[in-house]
Amino acid sequence: MPTEPTEPALDDTVPVGGNEVLMRRVLKRLVDFDRGKTPPLQAGAFLPNKRDNDGLSLNRQVTDHYKHFLTADGLKNWHEVPENIRVTCGVVAVLAEVARDIGLTVNPDPSTTPGHVLIQEINWNQYAGDATTDASRLKIEEWALQLAKRANVLIQPGKPPDPPTSTAA
């Protein structure tokens, strides 16, 4: 009987495990990274933007995927990210099981970036697009707040990330 993987997935054919860390790049202006609040993050970290048509875009924190995530703009590592981006962006992280616990789906979508995943329920169309209603928008705000409550800052703006915990391929 198939079970969820307990080790980090190494390719996008492996379903996202509940214990996998999911990352999202967030502008500093959407998250007050410096304040010790409860929840530590604000909902803005998990609200969709206009490019999140198919769902909230995140990446899996596993060896190769992690590197691809940080190099999505063709840059080799965080140190090579231009200063103006490093100081304006940080990375937040949440466990996949947190999303599933509140009724969200987490599915691989490697079509654009290896390790890319989508939470399809948190999408722009129902938040502020053609399909939005008061109810759909409020629901997305609820989910964003619930994710923020159990998320953490992985990379502070302006600081390099810690090296991945698993060995690089």
Partner 1 sequence: MFSRQWESARDEARDLDKYAPNWDGADADPVALGLVQVALKLFRRLETDGFPAPDLVYPAADGSVYVEWHHAGGFVQMVNLRPGRISLVLMRPDGTIDPQSSETPADVSLEEGDAACADGDSFEFALAA
Nearer to partner 1, 120 or 166 (CB): 120
Instruction: Provide the Cα torsion 122, 141, 45, 10; round to 10°.
Output: -30
Site for partner 1 contains 43 (CB under 8 A): yes
Q: Residue from 146, 153, 154, 157 that binds partner 1 (CB under 8 A)? A: 146
Q: Residue from 105, 137, 156, 158 that binds partner 1 (CB under 8 A)? A: 137
Residues in the interface with partner 1 (CB under 8 A) total: 28
Q: Residue from 51, 130, 162, 167 that binds partner 1 (CB under 8 A)? A: 51
Residues 60-99, mask of contacts with partner 1 (x by CB under 8 A): ----------------------------------------
Nearer to partner 1, 13 or 38 (CB): 38
Token pair belonging to 133: 């209603």
Token pair belonging to 103: 């009724």
Q: Residue from 5, 15, 18, 42 that binds partner 1 (CB under 8 A)? A: 42
Q: Which residues would be at the binding site for partner 1 (CB under 8 A)? A: 27, 29-30, 32, 35, 37-39, 42-44, 47-51, 124, 127-128, 134, 137-139, 141-142, 145-146, 149
